[in-house]
Every structure is written in C-alpha cells, then in structure tokens.
Structure 1
Amino acid sequence: AFCRSARALAVIHDRGHVVPEDISMLAHRVLRHRMILGFEAASARITPDAVVDAVLQTVPVP
C-alpha cells in the first residue's frame, strides 16, 4: 500500500518517480494504523504518530 500510494502521489505531481518527500508526506497516513503499541508506550503516552516522527527523524534520507 505504501509503494502504490507513493507512486500515485508522484503521478499526481507529474513525476515518473517517487521522491523522499512523497514518503515523508504519506508516512503518517500509511503507518499510523498499522502499529500496536504496548503497555509501556501507552502509559508513557507515546502515540503512533510520535513513533512515525521518530523514525522519520532517525532514518537518513537517501
């Protein structure tokens, strides 16, 4: 789903390829509902959005 969404977004922006900004733009929408956080995360009030933010900040953009 993530790859298809990124390709669709690239087409919408009249590009034949996906750029890192496409991935960043879609990450929250695509990944948020796929996470099941444990008790520790819930008690620390860590949200799926916070996890996605941390991943986007940690993983270097190619």
Structure 2
Amino acid sequence: MVSKVGTITPQIEKRAKFIVDRLIDSKLADLIFLPYNPRFHWVLAVIDLKSQTVYYLDSLLQ
C-alpha cells in the first residue's frame, strides 16, 4: 500500500491518507509496520507509538 509504484499525485495522496488513517486508528501500545519498496529492495519502517520512536530497517545500510 505504501510502495513507490505509481508516483503520480493522486496515488501519493492515497498512500499518505492510508498511513494517516492507520495512525489515527491505532492505540498507544501499537507498533505500526510499514514495508516499503523504494525501487530495488524492501525496507521496513516501524513506528512505536508508546515510545514515539521510528525504526528504519534497511538490509543494505551498514
């Protein structure tokens, strides 16, 4: 739902709305996982709402 495929404005707005809706509907103790494919590999962003921390996991970064 949040991959980079389709970079025209309506699709970008649709992805942003999807993320915002999930954040609004979440509970404080929730973890939100956002897999994302920027082009050639997958990365993962994890939002920990309780600690207000965002983790960015990319196997290509060292």
TM exceeds 0.5?
no
More strand by share: 2
- Shorter-chain TM-score: what band? under 0.3
- What TM-score do the two structures reach when normalised by structure 2? 0.26
